[in-house]
């Protein structure tokens, strides 16, 4: 299918959906840690053989998962028309970005520029870092700033606390090499003793810039991030087994690996940010109600904020009620709870299989910027999570900066 044919297909899909695209779910396997098996799939569906287990679901993704065992379209969202997967959202944006993102936004932005996902691991993730722009550029990749939301009503797992950064003295005294022996020896999880852990609370979350060390806890997490899959793992022992040391060097330039060895990764860390004594105060997220969008039928809150690189809302529509949604630009949704109609499109939480679903939509710019009726047809709250890309909501709340 050439670009012209793809362009026409996108136009047809948008016309058919009246500005809304239904997406098929995209599942991602990881082999360094077992899945927590809380994403609603049949038990037999999680096993991905040598690729590991299905531990993540990517939402409206236009970038591919970067795994040791590569699968051609792993992580990529597909547009679903009449129950059939057609083309990837990535192809749709590349061939007809203006129709999806709006002409002006498409002119100033290369793509949707964000990735939403559900990640679900049985244990705490390894202590790791996502490269900043200066380091990601060197290996032809993008940086990865991210944020987390811990949904309510889900088991929090065995380690519901996240390690962030390092003890302030390490940054203050520039004693960065205190972490080096653990990277060289590569046989334990004792590197975590140089970090600080914070409890994961359902309904809350954290915002994390690129370059910050972290080891996310075992809570099922909804993450919104820049559209990248860069990382370096600094913790050898994870979930009772030693993971491959190649994950330490995954996005390290080969020349730096030769020149600096394991210390190359230490040069990619934002030490000032990691050593912030007010780390919790400066990065903790609680839902922020949006008074100007409150209606009799429901209400919205910011759950992803403190940056213009992405943003996200939680919409709650009361049983039997209708809420009118109006936003500034293109976004995608995940129906987390309940059932209803999204501008006439049937939606229901948890209704999906490995190919099709009723809980994931993409709302094009033209549609998003006009009033959209969202009707709750069930007996419980309809909870919808909205995910926006860079600069769509430039006035999102900012956390007041605490300084020592």
Class of domain 26-285: mainly beta
Q: 3-state DSSP call for residue 257? A: helix
Give the C-alpha distances (Å, rounded to integers) separating 331 from 60, 224, 259. 9, 12, 43
**Alpha carbon distance, N-terminus to C-terminus of the chain:** 58
Residue 363, CB-side half-sphere exposure with 13 Å CA sphere: 29
Tokens matching residue 56: 């993540």
Q: Could you tell me the pLDDT band of residue 84, with boundaries at 50, 70 and 90?
A: confident
Angle at 173 between CA 171 and CA 179, to 5 degrees: 60
**What residues form DSSP beta bridges with 216?**
none
Which residue ranges does the chain devote to CATH 2.60.120.10?
26-285, 288-388
DSSP letter for 293, please. Answer: G
Q: Could you tell me the pLDDT band of residue 356, with boundaries at 50, 70 and 90?
A: low
pLDDT value at position 354?
Answer: 53
Does pTM surpass 0.85?
yes
Q: Residue 390: which of 312, 290, 325, 287 has the closest Cα?
A: 312
Q: What is the mean pLDDT of residues 40-53?
A: 94
Class of domain 288-388: mainly beta
248-297 pLDDT, tens digit each: 999 999 999 999 999 999 999 999 999 999 999 999 999 999 999 999 99
Cβ neighbors of 294 (< 8 A, separation 6 or more) are 300
DSSP letter for 402, please. Answer: P
Number of CB atoms found within 10 A of residue 238's CB: 21
Is pLDDT at 25 greater than 80 in this prediction?
yes
Buried b (16+ CB within 10 A) or exposed e, 62-76: bbbbbbeeeeeebbb
Distance in angstroms (rounded) separating the CA atoms of residues 273 and 192: 17
Q: What residue has token string 């060197």?
A: 138
Q: Residue 116: which of 330, 385, 381, 378 has the closest Cα?
A: 385
Q: What is the mean pLDDT of residues 116-130?
A: 97
Contact 87, 1 (CB under 8 A): yes
299-327 pLDDT, tens digit each: 999 999 999 999 999 999 999 999 999 99
Give the C-alpha distances (Å, rounded to integers) separating 25 from 60, 74, 154, 317. 8, 11, 20, 24
pLDDT value at position 181?
Answer: 98
pLDDT value at position 293?
Answer: 97
Q: What residue has token string 């995954």?
A: 250
């Amino acid at each position: 299918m050439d670009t012209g044919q793809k362009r026409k297909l996108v136009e047809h899909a948008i016309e058919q959906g009246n500005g809304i695209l239904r997406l098929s779910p995209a599942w991602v396997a990881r082999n360094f840690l077992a899945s927590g098996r809380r994403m609603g799939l049949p038990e037999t569906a999680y096993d991905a053989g040598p690729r590991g287990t299905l531990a993540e679901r990517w939402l409206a993704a236009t970038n591919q998962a970067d795994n040791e065992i590569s699968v051609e379209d792993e992580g990529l969202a597909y547009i679903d028309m009449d129950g059939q997967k057609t083309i990837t959202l990535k192809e749709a944006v590349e061939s007809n970005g203006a129709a999806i993102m709006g002409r002006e936004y498409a002119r100033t932005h290369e793509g949707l520029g964000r990735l939403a996902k559900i990640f679900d691991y049985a244990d705490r993730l390894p202590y790791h870092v996502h490269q900043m722009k200066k380091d990601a550029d060197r290996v032809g990749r993008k940086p990865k700033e991210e944020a987390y939301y811990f949904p309510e009503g889900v088991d929090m797992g065995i380690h519901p606390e996240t390690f962030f950064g390092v003890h302030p003295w390490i940054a203050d005294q520039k004693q960065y090499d205190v972490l080096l022996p653990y990277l060289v020896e590569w046989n334990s999880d004792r590197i975590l003793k140089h970090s600080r852990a914070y409890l994961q609370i359902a309904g809350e979350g954290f915002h994390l810039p690129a370059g910050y060390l972290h080891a996310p806890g075992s809570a099922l997490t909804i993450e919104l991030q820049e559209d990248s899959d860069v990382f370096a793992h600094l913790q050898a022992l994870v979930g009772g087994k030693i993971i491959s040391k190649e994950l330490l060097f995954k996005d390290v330039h080969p020349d730096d690996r030769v020149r600096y060895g394991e210390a190359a990764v230490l040069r990619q860390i934002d030490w000032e940010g990691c050593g912030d004594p007010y780390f919790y105060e400066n990065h903790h997220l609680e839902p922020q109600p949006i008074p100007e969008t409150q209606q009799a039928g429901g209400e919205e809150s910011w759950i992803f904020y403190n940056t213009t690189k992405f943003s996200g809302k939680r919409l709650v529509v009361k049983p039997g009620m209708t809420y009118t949604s109006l936003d500034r630009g293109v976004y995608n949704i995940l129906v987390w709870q309940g059932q209803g109609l999204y501008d006439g499109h049937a939606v229901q939480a948890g209704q999906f299989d490995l190919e099709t679903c009723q809980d994931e939509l993409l709302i094009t710019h033209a549609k998003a910027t006009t009033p959209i009726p969202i009707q709750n047809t069930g007996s419980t709250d309809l909870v919808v999570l909205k995910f926006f890309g860079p600069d769509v909501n430039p006035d999102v709340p900012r956390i007041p900066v605490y300084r020592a």
